Structure 1
Amino acid sequence: MTFIYLASQSPRRLQLLEQWGVRCELLLPDAGEDTESLEAALPGEAPAAYVTRVTGLKLQAALARLRQRGLPPAPVLCADTTVALGRRILAKPEDAADAARMLAALSGQRHRVLTAVAVGKPRARAAQQWSALSTSWVTFEALRPAQIRAYVQTGEPMGKAGAYAIQGRAALWASHISGSYSGIMGLPAFETAQVLGAAGVQLI
């Protein structure tokens, strides 16, 4: 394949793919598409089930978008990231106060960062699909209220699962990381290579 479609508005995912030598074309939603509703958690849903399901829904929407626009066929990549404290899902904060609450909950805690990736390959009938899940662990030092306030004021937590970006200032709080650093950023290198390889896209 000469290129893939990336159905994500995350600049971090695009940056990572470009670093890995993958040529991407963005396949973003139309203005009228309700993409936020896809990320709503079901009652009692476990974090791993949630992030896998949401990624699958994003892939279905992206494949439909590809067909509707009559674009040239190519593999479509989707991903979704969530932060989990036990079974509690910490999605993107609704506002600054919500971000502060999430960060206070993560203070001094070991938590999971789960990123699901999925690739769909358009076909005449049903598209072929492959998916994988990356689970990493992050431990934050105990945070002072003043630290949380200062971080929230930077605006960095907004639009980020768990209200932080590991590639940003929050890295200064991470005393221990286990797993995939790129997965914590939003696109796990190993799992992405596996699903793209299954779709015929070799990264190396």
Structure 2
Amino acid sequence: MGLELPLWDNIKGKRLVLASASPRRKEIMEDMGLAFDVVTTLAPDENNPANYKTSEEYVADTALMKAIEVFGRCKTETSLEEADIVIGADTVVVIQGKILEKPRSEQEALDMIGQLSGQTHTVLTAVQILKKEKEGYSQSGFVENTSVTFSIIDKVVQEAYVRSGEPFDKAGGYGIQGSASLFVESINGDYWNVVGLPKNHLYRKLKLL
């Protein structure tokens, strides 16, 4: 029998909504023992990085757009129940100052894996939490930073990985929890951040609500 911990007494009875269609984020929140609903955001999955001074500002604003869109829709759409807490998230890979989102073609996926081969890159995940207040909402958020180093990946392996289809719904064109784990030489930071949702930092933030 597992250890029962009073992890979420502070938000018990609150309607918690994840503003993401990501199956990985859903699984992570389930593993955290959270009771929540998923409402897929209609906000753009990708913003324009050129409008921001830093990658951190870009990813934080993109996550906020997603959270705000879902919070508003839960309040106005009759088919949705009003949310007490909405969590929006966005993950990007950054290498040599360049932001890599989800690849849109096989060639783009190949280009991304080629750039990451034998290099160290940064994974940024922004999390934005909106909490319903008497008037509007309060906002809290953070950006988690993890460094990942890939070993050199043979061209034939790169092509086979792209053909597998795994890269296409993942920032930077790879999933660390899948076959791409074989490419990872080292990691510095939160593993779950690379998967798409940093458990510990999210836990600490939710406990403050």
The verdict on a shared fold, with TM-score over 0.5 as the criterion, is yes
Shift of 1:35: 2.5
Gaps of 5+ in 1: 200-204
Gaps of 5+ in 2: 1-10
For 2:83 and 2:136, the matched residues in 1 are separated by 13
Q: Give the total of aligned pairs.
A: 195
For 2:149 and 2:180, the matched residues in 1 are separated by 11
SS, match of residue 158 in structure 1: helix
- Contact 2:71–2:83 under 8 Å retained in 1: no
Shift of 1:47: 1.5
- Contact 2:52–2:58 under 8 Å retained in 1: no
Correspondence 1:1-204 to 2 at 5 A: 1=11, 2=13, 3-29=15-41, 33=42, 35-36=44-45, 38-43=46-51, 45-70=53-78, 71-199=81-209
Shift of 1:45: 4.1
For 2:85 and 2:20, the matched residues in 1 are separated by 14
- Contact 1:117–1:131 under 8 Å retained in 2: yes
How high is the TM-score relative to the length of structure 1?
A: 0.90
SS, match of residue 123 in structure 2: strand
Pair 61,90 (structure 1): closer, same or farther in 2 beyond 3 Å: same
For 1:191 and 1:44, the matched residues in 2 are separated by 24
- Contact 2:86–2:130 under 8 Å retained in 1: yes
How high is the TM-score relative to the length of structure 2?
A: 0.88
Instruction: State which drifts further: 112-121 or 45-54.
Output: 45-54
Pair 153,45 (structure 1): closer, same or farther in 2 beyond 3 Å: farther
Shift of 1:27: 1.4
Provide the aligned C-alpha RMSD in A: 1.5
Displaced runs of 4 or more, over 3 A: none
